[in-house]
Amino acid sequence: MSNTITDTNFNFPNQKSVYKGKVREVYNINDEQLVMIATDRLSAFDVVMPKGIPFKGQILNQIATKMMKDTEDLVPNWLVATPDPNVAVGHLCEPFKVEMVIRGYMSGHAAREYKAGKRMLCGVPMPEGMKENDAFPEPIITPATKAEMGDHDEDISREDILKRGIVSEEDYIVLEDYTRKLFKRGTEIAAKRGLILVDTKYEFGKTKDGKIVLIDEIHTPDSSRYFYAEGYQERQDKGEAQKQLSKEFVRQWLISNNFQGLEGQTVPHMSDEYIETVSERYIELYENITGETFVKGDVSDIQSRIEANVLEYLG
């Protein structure tokens, strides 16, 4: 498990600052470009797990950059280049402090809230009589406020976002429009691969010239939930669990080991064998989502590889 990247400490030319998120580390170059490094850290229930997952950063970065290219005709994005399997370089943006979560199906967090008797999520009503993993009549947008590392993201309604001045109404209308367009395209891409895009989240920022663009990741297993389309309806009719491709399998393992990120709970031990199975699931995810064979990057010295590739790009 030593061939993973869980922390970086680079000092690139004209580097102004470094921001470390739950999974990604972002280097500000001269207040113009951002160098975003996808680490192998694994976050669940807003808690970073103690061990990295081999190839996870590469998988997330390559899915996200591919999906950005597949949606750039619909929604502008921050991406400029990908000089390394784990690295994306893009325009400096001021991020909006909300995550735009959109759900086509009642799964995960929405299902847990529904089971607890709630019929309203982020100010959006959920119909009576639904079963877990049923499709909503129309996809619903259920935003969350962005948390700093280690803090829980919180559900928030459109009304509260506007009332608290987190996003202006003019900008929020654009965010909603972009979110629905991206989800529709993501659904179409998934369908071609025999998958159902269940739910996902998008993050947006503003460039220096005031343009709203998609940032961070898109349609990755960390930000999205996928079901296999084949057998979906049959499993629903029988009340069986759906066969899915997402990080949910990690969450379920943690729940079964009495961990949901709540106060006083301890992260269960992850054996090397279990971590290997997580890595294999991420590779399976990559190949299913992209329709391409995953090519493992050279992990003999990931830090040096990344540094060399970024330095060459920055020239």
**Could you report the per-residue pLDDT of 2-16, keeping only the tens digit for each?**
589 999 999 999 999
Task: Take residue 116 and report the two structure tokens written for it.
Answer: 């607890």
Q: How much is the mean pLDDT over the chain? A: 93
- Name the band, by pLDDT with cuts 50, 70 and 90, for residue 1: very low
Average pLDDT over residues 168-197: 97
Q: Residue 203: which of 192, 194, 212 has the closest Cα?
A: 212
Share of the chain above pLDDT 90, in %: 82
Q: Give the Cα separation of 53 and 101 in Å (integer).
A: 25
Question: Which residues make beta-bridge pairs with 224?
Answer: 200
Share of the chain above pLDDT 70, in %: 97
pLDDT at 146: 73
- Which of the four CATH numbers 3.30.200.20, 1.10.1380.10, 3.40.640.10, 2.60.40.420 does domain 15-93+278-314 have? 3.30.200.20
Q: Is the pLDDT reported for residue 43 higher than 80?
A: yes
Per-residue pLDDT tens digits for 116-168: 999 999 999 999 999 999 999 999 999 999 765 445 678 999 999 999 999 99
- Name the band, by pLDDT with cuts 50, 70 and 90, for residue 229: very high
Q: Is the pLDDT reported for residue 295 higher than 50?
A: yes
pLDDT at 152: 61
- Name the band, by pLDDT with cuts 50, 70 and 90, for residue 101: very high
- Name the band, by pLDDT with cuts 50, 70 and 90, for residue 221: confident
Lowest mean pLDDT among 45-59, 85-99, 112-126: 45-59
Q: Is the pLDDT reported for residue 216 higher than 60?
A: yes
Q: Residue 40: which of 74, 82, 84, 6 has the closest Cα?
A: 6
Q: Is the pLDDT reported for residue 90 higher than 50?
A: yes
* Domain ranges in the chain with CATH number 3.30.470.20: 95-246
pLDDT at 190: 95
Q: Is the pLDDT reported for residue 209 higher than 50?
A: yes
pLDDT at 148: 55
- Name the band, by pLDDT with cuts 50, 70 and 90, for residue 194: very high
Q: Residue 217: which of 10, 18, 52, 26 has the closest Cα?
A: 26
Helix (H, G, I), strand (E, B) or coil at 240: coil
Q: Give the Cα separation of 225 and 201 in Å (integer).
A: 10
In this predicted model, which residue has the larger pLDDT, 50 or 133?
Answer: 133
Task: Take residue 125 and report the two structure tokens written for it.
Answer: 């009503």
Compute CA 282 distance to the chain's CA centroid, rounded to the nearest angstrom.
13
- CB–CB of 204/172 below 8 Å? no
* Domain ranges in the chain with CATH number 3.30.200.20: 15-93+278-314
Mean pLDDT is highest, among 20-29, 133-142, 215-224, 241-250, for 133-142
CATH superfamily for domain 95-246: ATP-grasp fold, B domain (3.30.470.20)
- CB–CB of 223/108 below 8 Å? no
pLDDT at 279: 92
